[in-house]
Structure 1
Amino acid sequence: MRIDWATERDYNYLVERDHHLLERLIMSKINAKEIYILREAEDSNIGFMRYSYFWDNTPFMNLIWIDELYRGKGIGEQVVTFWAKEMKQQGCELLMTSTLATEDAQHFYRKLGFKDAGCLLLDNEPLEIILTKSI
């Protein structure tokens, strides 16, 4: 498995899978180098990880997507570890992410060393758990 920056050629792959990001923002995220593409081979995408910055200075992982066939093989852990190392090299000391209390992802993040840091409660939505990790 290889981790690369997303490029224009990954646009359609991302549009088909990332339903949480407005389509008009995908190219700006690609250009800002805030999306990693996970590849099995040169032209075989198997997933992606997208992040942004909370308070404009704290890396915040927005989404990890692994194609169904490749789930449960440690790929998510590999990309989070890769991202953490990249952010540390850039001088960051803290990572953030969040997940709904109804999602199993919270256990994945805790296994990777993320700690509960608070929550957000919106009308008619499950509790959003905020997690942080010192790097």
Structure 2
Amino acid sequence: MDLDFLKMHDAHIPQERLRLAIEENRILIIEENEMIGWLRFSFFWESIPFVDMLFILEPFRGKQYGTDVMHFFEREMFVQGFKELMLSTSSEEYSQHLYLQLGFKTVGGFFPINEPYEIMMVKNLIGKVEKR
């Protein structure tokens, strides 16, 4: 995995935490002959998979990569015994519409300091995981 590439594009967390996420296999890389994007996750309450970041590079947006990696992630987490997923997204980001289409429900939100409203979302995986 290209740590330098991720550091350049994922400036939301300190380098040491990014390195740790890589070591703990909490980053899914989306590739097709080149880097397309990634999904980074952690665990809310140490027990619920939480999508920290889903990022698709600009030339590849709108081509189903985000949807595909989310379906893959949902299946993987369900197979590992998790019953729900969580994530948050800025109210100013288009991604909230993708998550709603994928079956996530808005469960609240908050105002980070000097940032727009952050929407909290959850998806129940029981009986809803795509069987692709």
| Residue 28 (str. 1) matches residue 20 (str. 2) | yes
The 3-state SS of whatever aligns with 2:82 is coil
User: How far did residue 68 of structure 1 move?
Assistant: 1.1
User: How far did residue 69 of structure 1 move?
Assistant: 1.0
Q: How does 1:14-53 map to 2 (within 5 A)?
A: 14-41=6-33, 44-53=34-43
| Residue 108 (str. 1) matches residue 95 (str. 2) | no
Distance 1:56 1:13 in 2: 28
Q: How does 1:62-81 map to 2 (within 5 A)?
A: 62-81=52-71
Quote the sequence identity (%). 38
Distance 1:38 1:19 in 2: 18
The 3-state SS of whatever aligns with 2:112 is coil
| Residue 55 (str. 1) matches residue 45 (str. 2) | yes
User: Could you tell which deviates more after superposition, 88-97 or 122-131?
Assistant: 122-131
State the match for 2:73 in structure 1.
83
Which sections of structure 1, spanning at least 5 residues, go unmatched?
Answer: 1-6
State the match for 1:132 in structure 2.
122
TM-score for both structures, normalised by structure 2:
0.90
Which sections of structure 2, spanning at least 5 residues, go unmatched?
Answer: 126-132
TM-score for both structures, normalised by structure 1:
0.88
Q: Letter of the aligned partner of 1:12 in structure 2? A: D
| CA distance 1:129–1:32, change in 2 (3 Å) | same
State the match for 1:4 in structure 2.
none
Q: Kindly provide the CA deviation profile for residues 7-47 of structure 1, in whole angstroms up to 9, marking residues without a partner as x.
A: 3xx21110111011111212110110100111112xx2111
